Structure 1
């Protein structure tokens, strides 16, 4: 069976001052369908801990310690929702919190791989996030787009899927150019595009299109394709993952050789 890493961003999981429970439910429904139809083993990388924590406690998110405190509050809240919804589909979930060192250290990455294989062999849905509650700046990967790219490579995924408020890569900024066209296929990412200023669309997000491009660049160089689509409306994700039809969204194609 193929293996997919699905990453969902904070902008998708928060709606005003509340968790976007409907969108979270829709995501779980997609994951359950992928598993029930034996399309993929699924590893979920979920943002949203800080946003979920902020629902319970209003702190200045610009301060790193405040963000860590909010993540500590929000992470179990997120897991509570995932656990409840996955249980309704007959699946268990598990939480894995990782930092940069878990991928850089041969011993730690080997241990993480071992745990991951046990979870997937037992039909458990692993839910990954950065361990940003206790990690300092040097240990953090920085954003969950990069975490998902590393997870796809280190855990042997056949595909990385990023579900975001960005529904694909356009040939120009669609917010500024009404005639911007989506690029359905991307084979090469220019260095200048990787060095653009980050422009997150949500106050809780840490990236924007640049972090998606960096994630795509990372996996493409390692032979793994990446699909970027909307997390607000999963129609295109269903078409691509379930029906194997690429109607919309951007597919980043790995380098050959």
Structure 2
């Protein structure tokens, strides 16, 4: 592997009414190791702007304009934490805010690719998020799982890793069935799985397991791989990404 995209969700970066700084720190440590020990180019897709904004201002998050306002407050707070932590590893990061149209328009997608290549070639870690502060609903992906999948494809990454509040895909709901077994390798996603109801586990999240399946399906159709594992405990992420040892988590890949 040469280039990977890592996506971290709001549920991972939020703890109570505060930003989960320790988890953010652990994520930065992982990325630093991937860059320095494996020589990987890493693109980070980070949720958490709305959650970070809510630590400064408590608004009704069911209202779209309120969520946009919280994102406006939270995005610089989030970047402040990332910049501080990456600096401790002698690494620099940059912010890229995108919407769905950036990947649909040939001119805009070429511009985004050009900027991405400049950042990566200069050893900068791009941090992507949806530009949901000013964009209307029609221009947004709606969740960062889809943004991450598109980024992995359009920026020619070898793998998308999603760090989530779930540690993989199971054959049934592990919260309801203690006998549920993890599906470690998935080559195909059934249509009924893609049509399930979205069930985000956090009031700050916009996705759930279905949005992750849709992201995986998007990449499988384009012969790219996706790995889903926990963002709370990065042990499995270290095993898979750093040591190339697939002990746990779900790898979506074509047979």
TM-score (norm. length: structure 2): 0.99
CA offset digits 1:7-61 (Å, max 9, x no partner): 0000000000010000000000000000001342000000000000001000000
Aligned length: 255
Shift of 1:254: 2.7
Contact 2:187 2:253 in 1 (8 A): yes
Contact 2:50 2:70 in 1 (8 A): yes
Distance, in Å, in 1 between the alignment partners of 2:72 and 2:254 is: 36
Tell me what 2:59 maps to.
Answer: 59
Contact 1:229 1:250 in 2 (8 A): yes
1:153-232 aligned within 5 A: 153-232=153-232
Q: Are 1:33 and 2:33 counterparts?
A: yes
5+ residue gaps, structure 2, are none
Tell me what 2:13 maps to.
Answer: 13
Contact 1:7 1:161 in 2 (8 A): yes
Secondary structure at 2:202 match in 1: coil
Distance, in Å, in 2 between the alignment partners of 1:40 and 1:164 is: 21
Tell me what 1:82 maps to.
Answer: 82
Contact 2:12 2:232 in 1 (8 A): yes
Tell me what 1:250 maps to.
Answer: 250
Secondary structure at 1:162 match in 2: strand
Distance, in Å, in 2 between the alignment partners of 1:194 and 1:234 is: 27
Contact 1:100 1:139 in 2 (8 A): yes
Contact 2:38 2:242 in 1 (8 A): no
5+ residue gaps, structure 1, are none
Distance, in Å, in 1 between the alignment partners of 2:137 and 2:5 is: 25
CA offset digits 1:127-186 (Å, max 9, x no partner): 000000000011011100000000000000000000000110000000000110000000
Tell me what 1:143 maps to.
Answer: 143
